[in-house]
């Protein structure tokens, strides 16, 4: 089951991908991480899919990462007399707290927090940005607006407020219940929606209590502005281009994507690019050329993972969508220009012993005939540092902790292996060589680089590097002298 690419594929599960056979087929087609979308399906559905993934993991003997994606607060307008109304450019339109069904002049907006944050001149977007209004006058319970872009406004359409930081927590009451539920199940990553500030991540971390790694979704301009602080508090990032493209000018999204990707890599934290990557494959067995180019661009940028949403959750061709991503990734990563871009964007800032060890491991691997870099990692931090280097050879992350092995699945170029604890470096070398041979990464008489830390099983202690031969004594011997 070795992957012949470095970028990882995240596949969202849903009605089209909810049984053992389909989920296993998605994994065998190339999916590395499965996303459970808490916006859809009840807890019984989520539990069932989680258990199936763990069954597949056991049956195939390979760690699989599970990402639970919280819904976040949903801001929606109220209902209309007749279910909808037409509003025209230049007309006045009012949002207020009155529960009376709306018409072409007003509608309820049942979110007092929005009124508390609004100021004249601010923008309100409705229905994924299709309708745009500018605030003329506002108070604690109303906003008088001018319609900039008109059209049909209907029941409970989403409302976005792009140019203010809303006094709303990223976690709704539903999110809190979902968070505790999925952490109890044992998911590996938890994605936070509606992140606006570092405090949103800190609040979630207090609730998670170490049960899952935290991945912040960047989908609001406020999150882009506060990105450095959010990144520092997070274990990973998702560039959620759907809402980001609604609240930001669409032409600003590609530069934001590139900028955030580079910052994540410099921080040695995984980054996922998501939304509409192969959207036409919801209904078609073939993607558009533009979609293929979009996927390729993200891979050229060096992202850790690319994500399928409705394509794999509700589409007619989920397996074909995963295979398409896999094929595009292999083609891009085989391009000489890809390596030039990846290596030109490598950060040279080294501040710790572990930084120096992993940089040396990458240089040795690239200047000699080394087939893999084998990393013993307790917390996963050293493996993440090796992944940041984007070496030309595979990374084999060995850890005695199942949760660490699963979390590292999301990282670029990393093949996770759960192994027994070792107390001496020579046994680490044996485990590394055997794992490399079992995974099909080496053969006799290839060599690997092994990094580890002494004392063993202590997070952050990486301080040793060795080039090890893959000889019969190490691979087949019952003991090591």
pLDDT band at 481 (very low <50, low <70, confident <90, very high): very low
Task: Choose, from 5, 35, 62, 371, the residue flagged as catalytic.
Answer: 35
The predicted pLDDT at position 476 comes to 65
CB–CB of 341/302 below 8 Å?
A: yes
- pLDDT band of residue 348 (cuts 50, 70, 90) is low
Considering the chain, what percentage of its residues have pLDDT values greater than 90? 86
What are the tokens at 317? 């061709």
Three-point CA angle 311, 245, 277, nearest 5°: 25
Q: Is 473 known to be catalytic?
A: no
The answer regarding whether domain 353-476 maps to CATH 2.40.50.140 reads no
Handedness of CA 76, 81, 86, 89 (dihedral sign): negative
Residues in Cβ contact with 125 at an 8 Å cutoff, skipping those fewer than 6 apart: 131, 132, 133, 159, 160, 161, 162, 246, 247
Check if the beta carbon of residue 458 is closer than 8 Å to that of residue 378.
yes
Give 3-state DSSP helix, strand, coil % of the chain, rounded to 5: 40, 25, 35
Helices (H), 309-443: 310-313, 318-333, 336-344, 353-367, 381-389, 402-408, 425-438
CATH 3.40.1380.20 domain locations along the chain? 353-476
Is the distance from CB of 123 to CB of 162 less than 8 angstroms? yes
Closest CA to 76 of 104, 95, 103: 95
Note whether 74 and 243 are within 8 A (CB). Answer: no
Active site residue 217: yes
Contact criterion met (CB below 8 Å) for 264 and 271: yes
Tell me the DSSP string of 171-230: --HHHHHHHHHHHHHT-SEEEESS--SHHHHHHHHHHHTTSSEEEEEE-SHHHHHTHHHH
Give CATH for domain 8-73+169-337.
3.20.20.60
Q: Is 131 helix (H, G, I), strand (E, B) or coil?
A: strand
Does the active-site annotation cover 263? no
**Active-site residue, from 74, 76, 130, 174:** 76
> How many Å apart are CA 68 and CA 62, to the nearest integer?
20
> Following CA atoms 208, 212, 217, 222 in sequence, which dihedral angle do they give, to the nearest 10 degrees?
40
DSSP state of 167: S
pLDDT (mean) for 153-159: 96
- Return the closest-CA partner of residue 145 out of 156, 157, 161: 161
Mean pLDDT score, 324-352: 92
Residues facing residue 347 across a β-bridge: none
> What's CA 345's distance to the chain center, in Å?
21
List of long-range contacts for 93-102, beta carbons under 8 Å, 24+ apart: 93/133, 93/145, 93/146, 93/147, 94/142, 94/143, 94/144, 94/145, 95/124, 95/142, 95/143, 95/145, 96/141, 96/142, 96/143, 97/141, 97/142, 102/77, 102/78, 102/153
C-alpha 342, offset from chain centre: 20
Residue in 5, 8, 49, 217 annotated catalytic: 217
Share of the chain above pLDDT 70, in %: 96
List pLDDT tens digits, range 174-222.
999 999 999 999 999 999 999 999 999 999 999 999 999 999 999 999 9
The answer to whether the CB of 84 falls within 8 A of the CB of 153 is: yes
**All CATH 2.40.33.10 domain ranges in the chain, comma separated:** 84-160
What average pLDDT score do residues 283-306 get? Answer: 97
Across 331-337, average pLDDT: 97
Task: Dump pLDDT digits (tens) for 53-84.
Answer: 999 999 999 999 999 999 999 999 999 999 99
- Tell me what the mean pLDDT of segment 329-353 comes to: 90
Confidence of residue 480 (pLDDT cuts 50, 70, 90): very low
Tokens, residue 447: 């060599």
> Vertex 310, ends 309 and 315: CA angle to 5°?
135
The answer to whether residue 174 is catalytic is: no
Which ranges in the chain are annotated with CATH 3.20.20.60?
8-73+169-337
User: Of 123, 275, 399, 451, which residue is the catalytic one?
Assistant: 275
CATH 2.40.420.20 fits 84-160, yes or no: no
Predicted pLDDT at 364: 95
Report yes or no: 195 and 217 within 8 Å, Cβ to Cβ. Answer: yes
């Amino acid at each position: 089951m070795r992957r012949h690419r470095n970028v990882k594929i995240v596949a969202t599960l849903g009605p089209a991908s909810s049984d053992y056979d389909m989920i296993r087929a998605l994994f065998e087609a190339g999916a590395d991480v499965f996303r459970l979308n808490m916006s859809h399906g009840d807890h019984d559905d989520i539990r069932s899919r989680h258990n199936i993934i763990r069954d597949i993991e056991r049956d195939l003997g390979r760690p699989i990462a599970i990402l639970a994606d919280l819904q976040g607060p949903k801001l929606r307008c109220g209902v209309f007399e007749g279910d909808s109304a037409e509003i025209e450019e230049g007309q006045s339109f009012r949002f207020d707290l009155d529960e009376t069904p709306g018409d072409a002049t007003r509608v309820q907006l049942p979110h007092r927090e929005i009124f508390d944050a609004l100021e004249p001149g601010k923008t309100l977007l409705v229905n994924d940005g299709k309708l745009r209004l500018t605030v003329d006058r506002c108070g604690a319970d109303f906003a008088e607006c001018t319609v900039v872009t008109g059209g049909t406004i209907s029941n409970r359409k989403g409302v976005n407020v792009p140019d203010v930081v809303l006094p709303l927590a990223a976690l709704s009451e539903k999110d809190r219940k979902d968070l505790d539920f999925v952490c109890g199940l044992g998911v590996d990553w938890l994605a936070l929606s509606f992140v606006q500030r570092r405090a949103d991540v800190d609040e979630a971390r207090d609730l998670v209590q170490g049960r899952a790694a935290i991945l912040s979704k960047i989908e609001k301009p406020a999150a882009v502005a506060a990105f450095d602080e959010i990144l520092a508090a997070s274990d990973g990032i998702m560039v959620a281009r759907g809402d980001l493209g609604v609240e930001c000018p669409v032409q600003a999204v590609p530069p934001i994507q590139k900028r955030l990707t580079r910052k994540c890599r410099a921080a040695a934290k995984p980054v996922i690019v998501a939304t509409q990557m192969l959207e036409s494959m919801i209904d078609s067995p073939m993607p558009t050329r533009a979609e293929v180019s979009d996927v390729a661009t993200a891979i050229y940028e060096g992202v850790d993972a690319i994500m399928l949403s409705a394509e794999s959750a509700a589409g007619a061709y989920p397996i074909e969508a995963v295979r398409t991503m896999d094929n595009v990734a292999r083609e891009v990563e085989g391009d000489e220009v890809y390596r030039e871009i990846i290596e030109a964007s490598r950060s040279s800032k080294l501040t710790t012993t572990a930084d120096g060890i992993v940089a040396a491991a990458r240089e040795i691997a690239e200047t000699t005939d080394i087939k893999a870099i084998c990393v013993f990692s307790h917390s996963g931090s050293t493996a993440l540092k090796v992944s940041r280097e984007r070496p030309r050879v595979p990374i084999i992350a060995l850890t005695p902790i199942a949760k660490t092995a699963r979390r590292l699945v999301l990282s670029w170029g990393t093949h996770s292996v759960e192994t027994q604890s070792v107390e001496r470096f020579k046994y680490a070398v044996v485990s590394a060589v055997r794992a490399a041979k079992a995974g099909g990464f080496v053969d006799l008489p290839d060599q690997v680089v092994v990094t580890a830390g002494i004392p063993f099983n202590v997070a952050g202690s990486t301080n040793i590097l060795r080039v090890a031969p893959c000889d019969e004594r190490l691979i087949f011997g019952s003991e090591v002298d």
